[in-house]
Amino acid sequence: MAKYVGQRVKRTEDPRLITGLGHYVDDIKLPDTLYVAFLRSMYAHAKIKSIDVSEASHAPGVVAVYTGADIGSKVGPVPCAGALPGLKVPDYRVLATDHVVFAGQPVAAVVATDRYAARDAIDLIMVDYEELPAVVDVEQAAKGGPLVYEEYGDNIAYRLTSGEGDIEAALKASDKVIKQKIVHQRLIPIAMEPRGVLARYYPGEQELTIWSSTQIPHLLRTQLAIMLGVPENKVRVIAPEVGGGFGSKLNVYAEEALVGWISMQHGKPAKWIETRRENMQATIHGRGQIGYIEIGCKNDGTITGLRYNVFADMGAYLQLLTPAIPTLTGLMLSGCYKIAAIQMNVTAVFTNKMSTDAYRGAGRPEATQVIERAMDLVAAELGKDVVEVRRKNFPASTEFPFKTATGLFYDSGNYELALDKALGMADYKSMREAQKKARDQGRLVGIGVSTYVEICAIGPSQATPAGGWESATVRIEPTGKVTILTGASPHGQGQETSFAQLAADELGVDLNDVTVIHGDTSIVQYGIGTFGSRGTAVGGTAVFNAIQKLKEKATQLAAHLLGVEAAAVSFKEGRFSVEAAMAATVANSGGSKSEPRTSISIQEVALAAHVAHKIPPGFEPGLSATNFFEPSNFTFPFGTHIVQVEIDKETGEIQFQRYVAVDDCGKVLNPMLVDGQVHGGIVQSIGQALYEEAVYDEQGQLLTGTLMDYALPKATMIPWLELDRTETPSPVNPMGVKGIGEAGTIGATPAIVNAVVDALSPLGVRHLDMPMKPENIWRIINKVN
Amino acid sequence: MIPAQFDYLAPKTLDEAIALLAQHADDAKILAGGHSLIPAMKLRLAMPQILIDIGRIQNLSYINEDGGQIRIGAMTTHYQLESSTTLKQICPLLPETAAQIGDVQVRNKGTIGGSLAHSDPAADWPAAIIALRAELVATSTKGDRVIKCDDFFVDLLTTALEPGEILREIRIALPSGRTGQAYMKVAQPASGFAVAGVAVTITRDQQGRCQSAGVGVTGVASKAYRAVGVENALIGGPLDAQSISKAASTVTDGIAINGDLYASEQYRHHLAQVYARRAIEAAAQRAQ
Amino acid sequence: MKKAVSITVNGTTHHSEIEPRLLLVHYLRDVLGLTGTHVGCETSICGACTVMIDGQSTKSCTMFAIQADGSSVTTIEGLAANGALHPVQEGFWERHGLQCGYCTPGMIMSGAQLLERNPNPSVEEIRHGLEGNLCRCTGYQHIVEAVQHAAGKS
């Protein structure tokens, strides 16, 4: 058994974080820093007739006030990486000029000597707006409605049809076709650390350093170089400690470029720290789809076809991946079932709201919600058990790689194994019996099942906007310490530990002798970043591959130092040894006064590689190896979640009674970290299922704009989560790992919704939209309109 | 996040405080625990020019029982009330209510006086204060003025405190006889404030019938109120399931009910009835 | 108009001239450079800014620094005594009670407050004690286990 890999190793990140000594952006203090605050549009849609900054400019401590007119074309537009046929990409300027299209859009920036003065001056800027009608409802926007951009003539960002198979024929040949409207409400990601940017421009060196709370330091560097017109090799982006992301920091934001530009104007460091209200208004939102499901089935429960017509809410602007998110929904509509024909028709629309983009799961929770709700609809229609219908449509474990009608090849899977394990843990049969008894007493008890699969380890470069690979450099320093430079950018996932575990085992060194460096573009070779549950499967594989290269090189030198051919050297637990038979030959060869060595430690080899006194011809000094790993496919983690709830008949309040989850993310480097990811994912799902929703009024004002209004799950709202795993290795990478960052969020929501629908099924309920607020349930129970 | 500028005054005595308040009545706000005022100031929904911090005045934080009366200093924190072993014995409604306010940190700093003087329509204390028929003692340069709780809550964020007055003490008649109390609420999941909260105190007579009842309701309307109809329906009744349910059904009679994103007027009306019934049942059950 | 205050933080008394509106959390972070205390919301909900003031856990974003004049404040940087981690800190490390770490200092403070008042809490009591702290990463379960660990009940 490996010493570290597969073990519950405590995190090496933690000592600094539990003592308050980590450094998030706002913890970095530079002398003479200027503070930036933004005036944001109070209207969702308006013309700016004039802006008067004179009073603000003269306020105490204020150094400058900038408006869109001052910026002009000096800073390039906020980028969108989506490249879909017919996509309309609005010109997204870092400060609005004459037109604002969502409440919270930056209109002016105050630069002051401290954050209090900057905030005070915001109130002194006078903007004369002419309010325009706003379009908020997605379907109304698609039909026409007020236009976000007059010049487009409609609110359609793009339309797209995807999927394979003859859907018309498939539905026609079905015994039953079930239709259901489904709403995936807008969510606000709310990483606990809001965004923040610190920029420092050195006019002499012409170097711009940006500390940003980001998941993608390298991609951000490239985009900031383009936006600011600074050579990319003069821009350094550092993602210091990052307090959560969940996709909301997988982006390039106006403020990141603008704070950099301000630092360049003044030759001083400039800092902006987002307030929570700004975060809720002007950091990307997630989900935001309204769809129409048509699912066909045979009377025996075989699924014949699935059509999903969806209106996707883009918001007013396209951020980095905004238009790409619905395409991920399309990819995963097959769920873990054999469905011969699938079609998705997307109508992506502009609205006067903040952009949607990647929020934990990014398009896949929507797909899973669609197919897992649809499976329950089929079961209800046919009067079959929800487990039976699912099992009937699973591909067998021998059918992998499994081709879907959405154009994917699922790498590996054993859906029945995970299902059966979860059923066993839950004691599903007894659960159903107890439910029957409870129902006989008039209680509303429900059991929900979700068997999910998701697409992650994003991904092959062909399938991503800008590189789906990841990079790693592994080197052993002269003193034998191991340094890993990863292009991944972990922000809570724990890869400083899991990558160190990997290296410690592979190189036979102590865990504490390994340091993992990430997030600094001047130190780390180009990388892609952490999102799409890719950190370990893609980033970790790059580390693994680099280690293998490093070991090859070290073996060459070790062999030279031991006086044998490389093939005669074996490596185990940190030592290179001459094979036993060969050792005897060396010993008998005579001529040497001292006893010939038969083994050498990797630390000694590292020192020898750097001192370079005794290296073989052609051997490059130093001991370092780099790998850029390009995956051949995505990976497809899967699992089964089973939830039991009881509804208070009088009030509609939902109580969790059990939560059982069996997840399969392939091989596991650190089970403790995997559990943590699953816990967090499930709880964000509980948030979506029961509490969270970004609500805008008809004028486009965000009504849930503080944490007093937007409910996140608290410790008291969560059931005990009973977890287990199955382990089906992925063939896509040598470690067999898949990814687990988003699986919980993807698998859990439908299980929770299915449980609540099941509880209400005696009342004829077949579907509920989220968040399942007590009032809505109370209305159903009491038939109140 | 950042409040507007203000001047800060920190009197050491109550007399000093009321003198300062008299001097600055129009521009000044009293700062007690700060857990209602400071959040509003950070959002710049409140921008007082002067804050008079009464946190440094000695002897405004106490729980005394004396002559059949409980007296609570205005600066007594929610946590002090929650954890008071005396109150758990003699007036458990107070600790029970305190324990449901906000969270631990809020209870550590927030004060009963600050909460009452703020008169948030969804705060928890007003319901209990009304159920207990408390009297509130305001003081000013003119001396003390005793305000009955029924007169204290005037409207949304508005109390009967006059300019220049500081709430300094809450007085509650010591519950006696076969008395049971309860506070039950539906908490808004984000803020923790009451969507509907009902505080009840019930005293049974020798036959076990309802001798007296106090029912305070919060979260439902623009201010906390006494459900007089419920009280009247209970008094003299047997406190059985049917009579309790019937009484509770009148809890919003004559009240303009709030509606918001979490609970419409209709649903809030329903919740108030359910929680009134549950709180009365609990109180009746405890009144043994 | 600045005012003079003296505030003892982690055992050291600091004499400072501050604006009355300066929030305690900004005093700790920007004046004293103790950046372990974080800001996560502006509405006294998230608890990332929780510190101990005279032994009571307090949201330092909902208090003016001037109110702490004469008080003794303990921040996350001062919780470990003589280099030994506080049991709650240890619990968080042992039980993977943190991921991104942003809510962690506040969570640890709340855990410490809870155990001071109730050394032997149930799971429900632990959850109740952490109600004033939001975490978006962990789903709270490992945090509950961390507090249990600290209580010696693991």
Residues of A in contact with C125 (CB under 8 A): none
Q: How far is Cα A364 from Cα A326, in angstroms, rounded to an integer?
A: 9
- Radius of gyration from C-alpha coordinates of chain C: 15
Pairing between β-strand B166-173 and β-strand B158-159 as defined by DSSP bridges: unpaired
Q: Please name the amino acid found at residue B218.
A: T
- Determine the pLDDT at residue A465: 85
- Determine the pLDDT at residue A591: 47
Q: How far is Cα A764 from Cα A760, in angstroms, rounded to an integer?
A: 7
Residues of A in contact with C79 (CB under 8 A): 19
For testing contact with chain B, the best of C5, C64, C135 (most B CBs within 10 A): C64
**Residue of B116, B23, B45, B39 whose CA lies nearest to B75:** B116
* Nearest-by-CA chain C residue for A20: C36
Residues of C in contact with B5 (CB under 8 A): 19-21
Interface of B with A (CB under 8 A): 1-2, 4-5, 43-44, 186, 188-191, 261-264, 266-267, 270-271, 274
Q: Please name the amino acid found at residue C129.
A: G
Percent of chain C surpassing pLDDT 70: 99
Q: B6 and C21 in contact by Cβ < 8 A?
A: yes
Q: What are A421-477's pLDDT values in tens digits?
A: 999 999 999 999 999 999 999 999 999 999 999 999 998 999 888 899 999 999 999
Point out the least confidently predicted range of A488-497, A592-601, B140-149, C92-101.
A592-601
Q: B188 and A123 in contact by Cβ < 8 A?
A: no
* Nearest-by-CA chain A residue for C142: A676
Q: B39 and C66 in contact by Cβ < 8 A?
A: no
Statement: residue C42 has pLDDT above 70: yes
Statement: residue A361 has pLDDT above 50: yes
For testing contact with chain B, the best of C62, C69, C114 (most B CBs within 10 A): C62
Statement: residue A630 has pLDDT above 50: yes
Neighbouring chains to A with at least 3 Cβ pairs closer than 8 Å: B, C
Statement: residue B88 has pLDDT above 80: yes
Query: Is-contact A449 A758, C-beta < 8 A?
Result: no
Percent of chain B surpassing pLDDT 70: 100
Phi, psi dihedral angles at A157 (to 5 degrees): -80, -40
For A165-298, strand residue ranges (E) read 176-184, 196-202, 207-212, 235-238, 270-273, 289-297
Q: Which residues of A374-396 are buried (b: 16+ CB within 10 A; e: fewer)?
A: bbbbbbbbbebebbebbbbbbbe
Window 26-65 of C: residues touching B by CB (8 A cutoff) are 39, 42-45, 47, 50, 56-59, 61-64
Phi, psi dihedral angles at A284 (to 5 degrees): -55, 150
Torsion of CA A64, A69, A75, A81, to 10 degrees: 130
Q: What are A581-623's pLDDT values in tens digits?
A: 666 666 555 445 566 789 999 999 999 999 999 999 999 999 9
Mean pLDDT of A68-86: 95
Query: Is-contact A286 A746, C-beta < 8 A?
Result: no
**What letter would DSSP give residue C100?**
S
Statement: residue C74 has pLDDT above 50: yes
For testing contact with chain B, the best of A38, A273, A650 (most B CBs within 10 A): A650
ipTM above threshold 0.95: yes
CA distance B56 to chain C (A): 9
CA distance C53 to chain B (A): 10
**Residue of C59, C83, C84, C86 whose CA lies nearest to C73:** C59
Window 261-280 of A: residues touching B by CB (8 A cutoff) are 275-277
Q: B274 and A695 in contact by Cβ < 8 A?
A: no
- Determine the pLDDT at residue A581: 66
Peptide bond into A774 cis (omega under 30): no
Window 90-149 of C: residues touching B by CB (8 A cutoff) are 110, 113-114, 117, 129, 131-133
Q: What are A248-296's pLDDT values in tens digits?
A: 999 999 999 999 999 999 999 999 999 999 999 999 999 999 999 999 9
Q: B190 and A711 in contact by Cβ < 8 A?
A: yes
Q: Is C20 on the interface with B (CB under 8 A)?
A: yes
Q: C36 and A708 in contact by Cβ < 8 A?
A: no
- Determine the pLDDT at residue A466: 84
Q: Is C93 on the interface with A (CB under 8 A)?
A: yes
- Determine the pLDDT at residue B25: 80
Decide: helix, strand or coil at residue B77: strand
- Determine the pLDDT at residue A593: 54
Mean pLDDT of chain A: 96
Task: Give the confidence band of B85 by pLDDT, cuts at 50, 70, 90.
Answer: very high
Q: C43 and A708 in contact by Cβ < 8 A?
A: yes
**Residue of A474, A455, A463 whose CA lies nearest to A537:** A455
- Radius of gyration from C-alpha coordinates of chain B: 19
- Determine the pLDDT at residue A82: 80
Residues of A in contact with B274 (CB under 8 A): 650-651
Q: How far is Cα C70 from Cα A127, in angstroms, rounded to an integer?
A: 44
Statement: residue A144 has pLDDT above 70: yes
Q: Which residues of B261-277 are buried (b: 16+ CB within 10 A; e: fewer)?
A: bbbbeebbbbbbbbbbb
For testing contact with chain C, the best of B53, B78, B103 (most C CBs within 10 A): B103
Residues of B in contact with A717 (CB under 8 A): 189
Burial of A68: CB neighbours in 10 Å, binned 0-12, 13-18, 19+: buried
Q: How far is Cα B245 from Cα A614, in angstroms, rounded to an integer?
A: 93
Residues of C in contact with B38 (CB under 8 A): 44, 62-64
Mean pLDDT of A690-697: 98
Q: A11 and C96 in contact by Cβ < 8 A?
A: yes
Q: How far is Cα A65 from Cα A53, in angstroms, rounded to an integer?
A: 7
Cβ partners under 8 Å of residue A255, min gap 6: A36, A38, A94, A106, A195, A197, A272, A274
Pairing between β-strand A235-238 and β-strand A207-212 as defined by DSSP bridges: parallel
Window 26-65 of C: residues touching A by CB (8 A cutoff) are 26, 29-30, 33-43, 45-46, 48
Point out the least confidently predicted range of A192-206, A502-516, B18-32.
B18-32
Residue in C22, C77, C102 closest to A244 by CB: C102
Residues of B in contact with A773 (CB under 8 A): 262
* Nearest-by-CA chain B residue for A773: B262
Percent of chain A surpassing pLDDT 90: 96
Q: C56 and B102 in contact by Cβ < 8 A?
A: no
Neighbouring chains to B with at least 3 Cβ pairs closer than 8 Å: A, C
Cβ partners under 8 Å of residue B213, min gap 6: B200, B201, B202, B203, B230, B231, B234, B235, B280
DSSP states of A201-223? EETTTTEEEEEE--S-HHHHHHH
Residue B144 CB neighbours (<10 A): 11
CA distance A28 to chain B (A): 20
Residues of A in contact with B2 (CB under 8 A): 115-116, 119-120
- Determine the pLDDT at residue A579: 81
Q: How far is Cα B211 from Cα B205, in angstroms, rounded to an integer?
A: 5
CA distance A229 to chain C (A): 33
Task: Give the confidence band of A181 by pLDDT, cuts at 50, 70, 90.
Answer: very high
Residues of A in contact with B186 (CB under 8 A): 651, 653
Q: How far is Cα A446 from Cα A759, in angstroms, rounded to an integer?
A: 4
Q: How far is Cα B133 from Cα B143, in angstroms, rounded to an integer?
A: 22
Q: A715 and C142 in contact by Cβ < 8 A?
A: no
Q: What are A189-238's pLDDT values in tens digits?
A: 999 999 999 999 999 999 999 999 999 999 999 999 999 999 999 999 99
- Determine the pLDDT at residue B285: 97
Q: Which residue has the tokens 């006019």?
A: A203
Residue A240 CB neighbours (<10 A): 22
Statement: residue A365 has pLDDT above 90: yes
Q: What are A396-408's pLDDT values in tens digits?
A: 999 999 999 999 9
Bridge partners (DSSP) of residue A198 are A211, A271
Residues of B in contact with A711 (CB under 8 A): 188-190
Mean pLDDT of chain C: 97
Q: B190 and C45 in contact by Cβ < 8 A?
A: yes
